[in-house]
Amino acid sequence: MKFKSFALASALFATAFTVHAGEVYVGAGFPGLTLGYSHTLSPTVKLRGEYAGGLSLNKDGKTGGVNYNAKIKTNRVGAFADWFPTSTGFHLTGGITASDIGGNFTARGGAGQTINNKPVDLTGKELSISVTYPDVTPYIGMGWSSKPSNATGWGFYGNIGLQIGKFKTNYTENGVIGSGGITQADVEVEVNKVRDAVNKLSVLPSVSLGLTYRF
């Protein structure tokens, strides 16, 4: 992911550590392991900075008429503000995330495959489709904490939210165009199938459950 995107969220994240009291928390969910720090500004407002990620997936599958190997990774840092409208621990969240979320779909060689309904043998050829989530996205969500804002010690939390963005899709090929009458337009039809599939995930869910320690 581009350095400037991490710098934006990391600067906000580092700001939270300039205070002398607060809460650390650790959890798990999607997009992976969560580690964060929050500081109470008032009985109704907290500022948080966190890292979440570490999930990876390597899986074979088929899209359209082509067999793919998919490699997917998820990492992000975020800066958030929590608003507590009541004293129950329930809160609403708004913020910004800097993400390194994406994947690569690599066509697996072999005969018996089709691109735009045209048979093709991909042995010795390459078709690779990459999908990347935007570097910086807004975040909205909600959650709950078991510890009152003036209490110290261990507690539990749960957060759920949405990152709002749209995947960008690119591709590279070597030897596919021109093989068996396959044209660039045919390849772009195949790429659009992947693009349409990932665009259904333009709003990414975020879920985390874990422990807190307030000091």
Tell me the per-residue pLDDT of 18-37, one tens digit each, with 9 for 90 and over.
Answer: 444 689 999 999 999 999 99
- The one-letter amino acid code at 131 reads V
What integer is the mean pLDDT of 82-110? 92
Query: Does position 117 have pLDDT exceeding 70, yes or no?
Result: yes
- Out of 87-96, 129-138, 168-177, 198-207, least confident range: 198-207
Q: Which two tokens stand for residue 133?
A: 């989530």
Question: CB–CB of 128/109 below 8 Å?
Answer: no
Backbone angles phi, psi at 16, to 5 degrees: -65, -30
Report all structural domains of the chain as residue ranges with CATH numbers, in order of start: 3-214 (2.40.160.170)
Question: CB–CB of 82/37 below 8 Å?
Answer: no
At 7, is the pLDDT very low, low, confident or very high (cuts 50, 70, 90)?
low
Query: Does position 79 have pLDDT exceeding 50, yes or no?
Result: yes
What integer is the mean pLDDT of 189-214? 89
Question: CB–CB of 61/95 below 8 Å?
Answer: no
| DSSP, residue by residue, 97-154 | EEE--EEEEEEPP-SSEEETTEEE--TT-EEEEEEE--SEEEEEEEEEESS-TT--EE
Cis? peptide before 85, omega within 30° of 0: no
At 150, is the pLDDT very low, low, confident or very high (cuts 50, 70, 90)?
low
Higher-confidence position of 203 and 141: 141
Listed in sequence order, the residues at least 6 apart from 7 whose beta carbon sits closer than 8 Å to its beta carbon are: none
Dihedral of CA atoms 126, 132, 193, 119 in degrees, nearest 10, equals 0
